[in-house]
Amino acid sequence: MPRGFAFRHAPLALALHLGLGLSALTLSLPSAAQSEATQYFDIPAGSLDQVLNRFALDAGIELYLDAALTQSRQSAGLQGSFSVDQGLQQLLANSGLSARQQSDGAWQLYPLGSEPDSLSLAPLTIQTNADQLYGRDEAGHDSVYDDNISSVYSGKEQIERYKGANPADLFKGMLNVYTGDARNSGGLDPNIRGIQGPGRVPLTIDGTEQAMSVWRGYNGASNRSYIDPNLIGGIKVIKGPNIERNVNSSVGGAVVASTIDVDDILAEGERFGGELKLEAGNNTVNPRIPQLHTGENYYDVPGFPANPSVPSSDPTLRVNLKTSSDDKLLSGNDHAYRLALGTRQERFELLGAYAFREHGNYFSGKNGAGFYSQPDTGERTQEYSQSLALDFHPGDEVPNTSSKMESWLFKARWKFDDDHSLTFGYRDTDMLYGEILPTRLANADDKGAVQWPLSHVDAKAYNLEYEFNPDNRWIDLYANLWTTRTESDTYSAGGFPNYATWADPVLRNTAVANADQNRVGITMSNQLALANSLDLTLGGSYQHEKLRSGDEYGGVEDGWRMFPRAGRRAESEFNFNFDWRPTDFLTLDLGARYSSHWAKDDFLAEQQAAGNMLTGTAITSRTATYRTIHNYTTEQIEANVQSSIARTISRCERRGCTPEQLAAGIAQSEASARANTTYTETHTQEWLPDSEGRYSRENNACLNGSLDDIDNLTGNCTISTGTVSTIATPVKTRRGHDWTPVASAALRLTDDSRVYLRYSEAVRYPSMFESTIGFSASLNPFYTLKPEHAFNYEIGYVHNLTGLLNAERYADFKLAYYQHRTKDVIERSTNFMFYNIDQQTLRGIELQTRYDNGGLFGDFSLAWNLENEVCDKNSAVLADPRFGSVPDCVENGFMGGYLISHAIPRYSANLNIGGRLFNDKLELGSRVTYYSKHENSDLDDYKANAETNKLAIYNLPLSWGSVTTYDAYVSFRPRDDITLELVGSNLTDEYYIDPTTRSAVAAPGRALKLSLTAQF
């Protein structure tokens, strides 16, 4: 079923060359009526090879052609309703070529004025699945320019080349895509255009979702998806709300990852085979993991701190750091391998893969550390990252950055026939990785030498995919039943690895938190061709999530540990989308999504059932206090004089003053009383919130201007705590449901260019983390959260420059402007509870280009983020209720909330450039990545007023300096089945931290990686 501007094919990549210089492309068996029946085609301009390949795929015909006849020829494409014969005539007009249908139904191209070759050619039977012929990665890269929505794509080759030291490196080079806590989490926490957090950017692998929210103390929470790059075949990031088919998306967009497949291992036509990949790198050192003293008396541990309940200077968690001089090229401290075996039979396919990687603590870069070497002033307004290099010295080992990952992958596909299949998938990733809670690192002595034990995660996934796409306009069915099982022991509980008290001196580990999270879901869709120019896609999904913990709850003061969260949550949706092509140059899409959810806190229910009434506290009123000055009347002054004299006489009578002393005292008392001509009067006014607990300037006496007309006002107006209310957090099932629309229009300006306009909405319901009780981020017992509601506009211009630049493969240009506004954003308040703030607005411009001329290739992308404005009157007035120095709308977010840590660089750019030599056996390439420094003028103003206005300072974002990193590679293929590759990362050895990080951990320095890939 054709879709407007859908995708393009690599030039003649599908042709199979014959000994006589002919090539045959067999796509499906012809029918007698095919040449006369009409259908709608929407094939973009490109080389004649590309266009004919696409036409044959869409028409379902066999096409024989001499490759020499079409070489270097261009085509304007084909738009409109045609029969096969009419379509070929249109495509071949003015080309000097013609086509005729053979007796067997196949079509053959020949030069005008010559007789068609009468040789009877037996068709070569090849795969007829368009995705396999076309290629997953080629389709992914092309979709960036062919789809009427912004996206980025990374294929298997790029993923394996630049997978770096951490899973976070998968996103490096993807325009306006980042991950939170890149170096201290072991997983991915996607950030698209500044939108990040639980449920805002779902990440799926083969349609399964596994994300877990991990508490990071006062610094927030990471929404981690644990992923093994060694198993990933491709990643597509879709930006903004959407209802793309079989994609789980939300207010920020979606990250869609797929694992490697049989086609990644076996060449076309092979039945059995395998692939072995070996890797080794430098810039790492084996971590020295501390031996904990659990069960011992802290008195018996030499040098243990005298205060065992706050052992920030625990000497047993210190290591002697290695320096870059200890980095050995062949140390073996970073090595990986993967073995994959597969078979492709007529009715089934099997794939099995095992992957392992061990990576020690890396060394940071040596150069460009000026931004991170600023003196530590000790002021509470100084961001720790600005003096990071004073603790984590450039070029030194960075503790808590090691990882060890072991994964299994199994896939089995049963093909009932060419358009009917069932696929089973299994994936298991077991990993150990370095991690330390930011709060504990910030308070530690000798921060750069603190090494904690490793966190452990075991993530399993199962899925069963069903596809049925017969030659029937009403059926193109897809279903995916899946489940994930994730068990983790992460160092995120809030305590210390060695903790004790004076009353109980036996040490125990209060830093590790256990979580067991299970998800089960189903995704279904069907596409119907209602007419030649109108398609309808119907889709739906359901997901159930259950969170448990094996940790025992010992009370709110149990070793600094947070609550062991536990709960259940479910979300479902139904969506539809009409794709209408009323003319050859216009495509319209219109759809909507209905979604619903429920969530319940099981830990809270269990505690209250046991009689432990967990409570929430809120300030339900405040008091404004101001003072006025008044003049005494003459009568009052005389009365004050007499009263003062009387007090003086009384004192002298008690003390026995002499007459002279009495006279002097009376004179002094009278003078003082007559000089005191004024007095002050204190006034109070209650400042109450509205029914939702929100405060405003309008009824704040200090800010609403009601005191401006008081001439005798003196001193400053102050705000103090009034009524503090404490109630038991209610146990209830929270529910919600909403409809949201999606619409787009694409207008073809020329054969090579188009513009599109897109409008989309989405809602995000409170996540499991936001629906359960915790510490420093918890349920609000006074307030029921509303879902976030996003409104997204995007306009784009796309131009295919292949013909203009005479590119052998492709040349594309895309420019997009977006405006994203989310109302009722769920945020952490000043009392560490979740509530809704008014809105967040993001605007920006993105440029994407690519070029490939066979020998020379490259791509360039640039992002200019124009605005990230967060507005909330309640947050603003509570931040500074006395002077009102905080505006209602601020850049990035309010102090103390989570959003302020999600800010991304205002400017970023990525450049990839390379060349192919010696018949593509040798490939050289490089990548340049640039981020502008963190800037926030509103935050600067807030810090400037902090001491004078007595403003709260906590959860300061970690600023970063501008950085440019350079990567390069050399890939050599001595044989078709062997590839050797050398990759250099951060070649200039820059010292920097990644944007959106919550942990002050420097990024890796210069590293080299050598790999060998052999297929057999």
In this prediction, residue 782 carries a pLDDT of: 80
Run of H or E residues at 660: helix 659-675
Q: Please give, one letter per residue, the 3-state secondary structure of 488-551.
A: EEECCCCCCCCECCCCCCECECCCCEEEEEEEEEEEEEEEEEEECCEEEEEEEEEEEEEEECCC
Amino acid at 488: S
pTM value is: 0.87
Q: What phi and psi values does residue 651 have, to the nearest 5 degrees?
A: -65, -40
Length of the chain: 1016
- CATH number for the region 16-132 comes to 3.55.50.30
* Tokens describing residue 746: 């694409």
DSSP per-residue codes, 49-62: HHHHHHHHHHHT--
Q: Please give, one letter per residue, the 3-state secondary structure of 307-344.
A: CCCCCCCCHHHECCCCEHHHCCCCCCCEEEEEEEEEEE
Closest CA to 839 of 794, 885, 873: 873
Between the alpha carbon of residue 68 and those of residues 23, 27, 52, 128, the distances in Å are 10, 21, 14, 24
In this prediction, residue 67 carries a pLDDT of: 63
Closest CA to 755 of 582, 586, 589, 533: 586
Calpha distance 788→793 (Å, rounded): 17
| Mean pLDDT, 10 residues at a time, the chain of 1016 residues | 35 32 37 62 80 83 74 80 88 86 80 60 34 72 96 97 95 97 93 97 98 89 94 97 97 98 91 97 95 96 95 95 87 92 96 97 97 92 92 97 98 95 98 93 87 98 97 95 98 95 96 97 97 96 97 82 94 98 96 98 92 83 95 92 92 88 91 92 94 92 93 92 85 94 97 97 96 84 91 98 92 98 94 92 99 96 98 96 96 95 97 96 98 96 92 90 98 96 98 93 96 96
* Tokens describing residue 622: 């405040």
In sequence order, which residues have a C-beta less than 8 Å from that of residue 612 and are 6 or more positions away?
none
In this prediction, residue 772 carries a pLDDT of: 93
Calpha distance 180→197 (Å, rounded): 9
In this prediction, residue 347 carries a pLDDT of: 94
Calpha distance 135→157 (Å, rounded): 13
Q: Is the dihedral of CA 47, 49, 51, 54 positive or negative?
A: negative
Q: What phi and psi values does residue 690 have, to the nearest 5 degrees?
A: -85, -170
Q: How many CA atoms lie within 13 A of 217 on its CB side?
A: 22
Name residue, tokens 């968690």: 317
* Tokens describing residue 451: 């090494």
Calpha distance 884→695 (Å, rounded): 13
Calpha distance 141→135 (Å, rounded): 10
The residues that bridge with 454 in the sheet, in sequence order, are: 434
Q: Please give, one letter per residue, the 3-state secondary structure of 579-638.
A: EEEEECCEEEEEEEEEEEEEEEEHHHHHHHHCCCCCEEEEECCEEEEEEEEEECCHHHHH
Measure CA of the first residue to CA of the last residue in the chain; give whole Å: 37
Calpha distance 971→292 (Å, rounded): 45
* pLDDT per residue as tens digits for the range 629-652: 999 999 999 999 999 999 999 999
Q: How many CA atoms lie within 13 A of 704 on its CB side?
A: 11
* Tokens describing residue 339: 């073995």
* Tokens describing residue 84: 């096969």
Reduced to 3 states (helix: H, G, I; strand: E, B; else coil), residue 785 is coil
DSSP per-residue codes, 810-866: EEEEEEEEEEEEEEEEEEE-TTSBEEEEEEEEEEEEEEEEEEE-SSEEEEEEEEEEE
Q: Tell me if 136 sits within 8 A of 256, measured CB to CB.
A: no
- For β-strands 107-111 and 63-66, DSSP reports them as parallel
Calpha distance 742→797 (Å, rounded): 19
Q: Tell me if 828 sits within 8 A of 896, measured CB to CB.
A: yes
179 Cα distance to chain centroid: 5
Calpha distance 38→532 (Å, rounded): 9
Phi-psi region of 949 (alpha: psi -120 to 50; beta: other; left: phi over 0): alpha
Q: What phi and psi values does residue 943 have, to the nearest 5 degrees?
A: -65, -35
In this prediction, residue 12 carries a pLDDT of: 35
Q: Is the dihedral of CA 716, 722, 728, 733 positive or negative?
A: negative
Closest CA to 993 of 912, 918, 923, 933: 933
* pLDDT per residue as tens digits for the range 503-530: 999 999 999 999 999 999 999 999 999 9
Between the alpha carbon of residue 858 and those of residues 802, 811, 850, 927, the distances in Å are 14, 10, 6, 9
In sequence order, which residues have a C-beta less than 8 Å from that of residue 674 and are 6 or more positions away?
637, 641
Calpha distance 219→189 (Å, rounded): 14
- CATH number for the region 259-288+309-444+456-497+516-619+727-1015 comes to 2.40.170.20
Angle at 841 between CA 840 and CA 845, to 5 degrees: 145
* pLDDT per residue as tens digits for the range 750-789: 999 999 999 999 999 999 999 999 887 788 888 889 999 9
H helices, E strands: number in the chain? 14, 49
Q: Tell me if 911 sits within 8 A of 860, measured CB to CB.
A: yes
Between the alpha carbon of residue 799 and those of residues 583, 748, 813, 816, the distances in Å are 20, 10, 5, 12
299 Cα distance to chain centroid: 45
* Tokens describing residue 778: 């918890």
Q: Tell me if 498 sits within 8 A of 467, measured CB to CB.
A: no
- CATH number for the region 137-258 comes to 2.170.130.10
* Tokens describing residue 39: 């259908």
